[in-house]
Amino acid sequence: PQVLYFTRHGESEFNAIGRIGGNSSLSARGQSYARVLAEHLSAVASRDLRVWTSELLRTKQTAAHIPAPKRAIRALNELDAGICEGMTYEEMQEQYPQEFAWRDQDKLRYRYPWGESYIDIMTRLRPVLSALEDEDNILVVGHQAVLRCMLGYFLDLKLDELPYMNVPLHTVVKLTARGYKYEVEMTKLPV
């Protein structure tokens, strides 16, 4: 059966200090995940595994030790938080209280000024999602919001649930096709 793997990038320097977006490198913990991830895949994944990352440093660094062909795809980049890129949620609440409240009211449709909404991500992901449906043995190294959208799509979640889906760091999500549905297996790796 068709097998697809998904993971968030390892912890980044921005994750460690609660800042959103940006293009920071992996923290020491994140780098340790990159090594453990490569070991895990060499034990469990097929030899013809291929890796799709975003264009951001933290996904490329997470994939760095995996001996497989890699492709960086712009449509896999994280949610663009526009004027709030690089802020903490507290800073956003202080500097843009109205925006913060709007996002809280409708996280799915809320679009950051000069940025994106979850619906926008769904739109730009369409071609990648159709391509993935015809693929096998792909690992997607992505980001929190983008992976919520991708996993929500394969697992048939309601759109309104997407923005709240729990996709933890340092965890490999394996989808195995079973008829028209996918079986999910989550493996938290020790870092």
**Residues found near ligand F6P in the complex (CB under 6 A):** 15, 20-21, 78-79, 81, 143-145, 163
Q: Is 28 or 44 the residue whose CB approaches ligand F6P more closely? A: 28
| Minimum CB distance to ligand F6P, residue 91 (Å) | 13
Instruction: Look up residue 67 and give its two tokens.
Output: 């001996």
Give the residue numbers annotated as catalytic, written as ranges: 9, 78
Q: CA-to-CA distance for 113 and 148, rounded, in angstroms?
A: 21
Q: CA-to-CA distance for 179 and 119, rounded, in angstroms?
A: 28
| Minimum CB distance to ligand F6P, residue 95 (Å) | 16
Locate all alpha helices (DSSP H) within the chain, ordered by sequence: 13-16, 28-44, 57-63, 89-95, 97-105, 118-133, 144-154
φ, ψ at 185 (rounded to 5°) = -135, 125
Q: Is 21 or 152 the residue whose CB approaches ligand F6P more closely? A: 21
| Minimum CB distance to ligand F6P, residue 179 (Å) | 31
| Minimum CB distance to ligand F6P, residue 148 (Å) | 8
Residue 11 is labelled as binding a ligand? yes
Give the helix/strand (H/E) hosting 7. Answer: strand 3-8
How long a stretch of residues is the chain? 191
Residue 12 is labelled as binding a ligand? yes
Q: Is 22 or 36 the residue whose CB approaches ligand F6P more closely? A: 22
φ, ψ at 186 (rounded to 5°) = -110, 130
Residue 8 is labelled as binding a ligand? yes
Residue 77 is labelled as binding a ligand? no
Q: Is 23 or 42 the residue whose CB approaches ligand F6P more closely? A: 23
Annotated binding site for substrate: 8-15, 58
